């Protein structure tokens, strides 16, 4: 009886199995357009930082672009959400947040995504379900599971994509979260963007093996590594994980193997790696992979791609222009949006 029932279920599931959007010409051209613009945006941020228009911390994303490109291809952007750490300018753009507002936020302007009061590490958009932008390494891991808990509780059929770095997986919060997320089968995809380094500490030096994805095994969480220089491979792994979460079968842990071309932040002299190492990784640059497939398939000519590059450059200039034209927040707002909890426990004892 059971065998017959499960066979019927299998036929039913196969018949109604949803499939991912094709990797069509349009998808590739959109990837090329987005990824060149993202790269250009980050390069411009670097020069704005040197001109002291961007202050505080600045962590650039160059080299990792295939990850948001692949994930947003596989996601349902009408309901799924995302959360990440402080290297967070590009993920929200992939989710649909206006890059002009992100540029304004980076420079502390009132037209920014958080009215100029968050800055580089705290891009946020409730409208696009991009929930930050977190500076505490690993702090977003339990938050991502919390968002997924709410999605499940309110039966939204939505999935949270929770990104973290290779440094963040060494935090205890990851293990508590993995345990709960598996126990409650939360609709979340945990993604470690393994770019080889946590500040100046290489993955090699952090643990006795380098297969970060295996951290899922102790919780019997489906887990796998993926070549994250290729957006197609990212999208395929993402889609399977997202669909698993959406049908109620719980989380997946993906180790997205990537590389960051720039230093950890603007104050990094990079003594921990050689120029040769960086050059070696640039040979498998994600934008070049996309470009090659477009050219091989004759979806565009070199000339047409150059025109797209030019458009990306112009668009980033428009973002800067928008930021320059925007005012700083009024000084009267300095205490706005700051929480104070007068009845916070033990505060009275501290004051006395």
178 contacts 149 by C-beta, under 8 angstroms: no
From 231, 294, 298, select the one nearest 72 (Cα to Cα). 231
166 in contact with Mg ion (CB under 5 A): yes
Question: Rounded to the nearest whole angstrom, what is the least distance from the CB of residue 171 to ligand TPP in the complex?
Answer: 7
255 in contact with Mg ion (CB under 5 A): no
116 contacts 122 by C-beta, under 8 angstroms: no
Q: How many residues bind ligand TPP (CB under 6 A)?
A: 14
Part in contact with Mg ion (CB under 5 A); list of ranges 3-11, 164-172, 215-223, 237-245? 164-172
From 187, 91, 195, 182, select the one nearest 134 (Cα to Cα). 91
168 versus 181: smaller Cβ distance to ligand TPP? 168
Contacts of 238 (CB under 8 A, 6+ apart): 70, 71, 73, 74, 75, 161, 189, 254
Question: Rounded to the nearest whole angstrom, what is the least distance from the CB of residue 261 to ligand TPP in the complex?
Answer: 12
Residues 272-331 that bind ligand TPP (CB under 6 A): none
**Alpha carbon distance 345, 295 (integer Å):** 63
Part in contact with ligand TPP (CB under 6 A); list of ranges 164-172, 177-185, 225-233, 289-297? 164-172
Element (H, E) at 337: none
Which of 111, 195, 312, 326 contacts ligand TPP by CB under 6 A? Answer: 195
Residue 130 pairs in a beta bridge with 82, 125
166 in contact with ligand TPP (CB under 6 A): yes
From 62, 45, 193, 70, select the one nearest 120 (Cα to Cα). 45
Q: Which residue is nearest to ligand TPP (CB)?
A: 165
Part in contact with ligand TPP (CB under 6 A); list of ranges 93-101, 190-198, 291-299, 327-335? 190-198
Task: Provide the CA 349 distance to its chain's centre, in angstroms.
Answer: 42
**Alpha carbon distance 350, 335 (integer Å):** 23
Residues 309-348 that bind Mg ion (CB under 5 A): none
Which of 92, 99, 112, 165 contacts ligand TPP by CB under 6 A? Answer: 165
Which of 20, 43, 135, 175 contacts ligand TPP by CB under 6 A? Answer: 135
Pairing of strands 197-198, 160-165: unpaired
Which of 264, 291, 294, 323 contacts ligand TPP by CB under 6 A? Answer: 264
Residues 172-201 that bind Mg ion (CB under 5 A): 195, 198
**Chain positions contacting Mg ion, by CB under 5 A:** 165-166, 195, 198
**Chain positions contacting ligand TPP, by CB under 6 A:** 85, 87, 135-137, 165-168, 195, 197-199, 264
């Amino acid at each position: 009886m059971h065998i017959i029932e499960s066979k019927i279920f299998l036929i039913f599931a196969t018949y109604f199995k949803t499939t991912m959007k094709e990797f069509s010409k349009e998808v590739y051209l959109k990837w090329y357009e987005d990824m060149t613009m993202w790269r250009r945006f980050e390069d411009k941020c670097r020069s704005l930082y040197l001109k002291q228009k961007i202050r505080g911390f600045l962590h650039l994303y160059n080299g990792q672009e295939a990850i948001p490109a692949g994930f947003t291809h596989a996601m349902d952007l009408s309901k799924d959400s995302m959360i990440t750490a402080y290297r967070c300018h590009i993920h929200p753009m992939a989710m649909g947040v206006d890059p002009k507002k992100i540029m304004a936020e980076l420079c502390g302007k009132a037209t920014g995504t958080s009215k100029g009061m968050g800055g580089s590490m705290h891009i946020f958009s409730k409208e696009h379900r991009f929930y930050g932008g977190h500076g505490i390494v690993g702090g977003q891991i339990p938050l991502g599971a919390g968002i997924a808990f709410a999605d499940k509780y309110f039966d939204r059929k939505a999935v949270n994509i929770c990104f973290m770095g290779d440094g963040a997986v060494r935090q205890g919060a990851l293990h508590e979260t993995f345990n709960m997320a598996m126990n409650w089968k939360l609709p979340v995809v945990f993604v470690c963007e393994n770019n080889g380094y946590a500040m100046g500490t290489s993955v090699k030096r952090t643990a006795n093996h380098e297969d970060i994805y295996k951290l899922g095994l102790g919780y019997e969480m489906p887990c796998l590594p993926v070549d994250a220089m290729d957006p197609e491979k990212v999208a395929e792994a993402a889609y399977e994980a997202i669909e698993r979460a959406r049908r109620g079968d719980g989380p997946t842990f993906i180790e997205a193997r990537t590389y960051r071309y720039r230093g950890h932040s603007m104050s990094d002299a990079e003594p921990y790696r050689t120029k040769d190492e960086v050059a070696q990784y640039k040979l498998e640059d994600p934008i070049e992979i996309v470009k090659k497939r477009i050219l091989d398939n004759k979806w565009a000519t070199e000339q047409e791609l150059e025109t797209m590059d030019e458009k990306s450059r112009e668009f980033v200039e428009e973002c800067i222009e928008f930021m320059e034209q925007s005012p700083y927040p009024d000084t009267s707002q300095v205490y706005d949006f700051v929480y104070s909890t007068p009845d916070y426990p033990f505060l009275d004892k501290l004051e006395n």
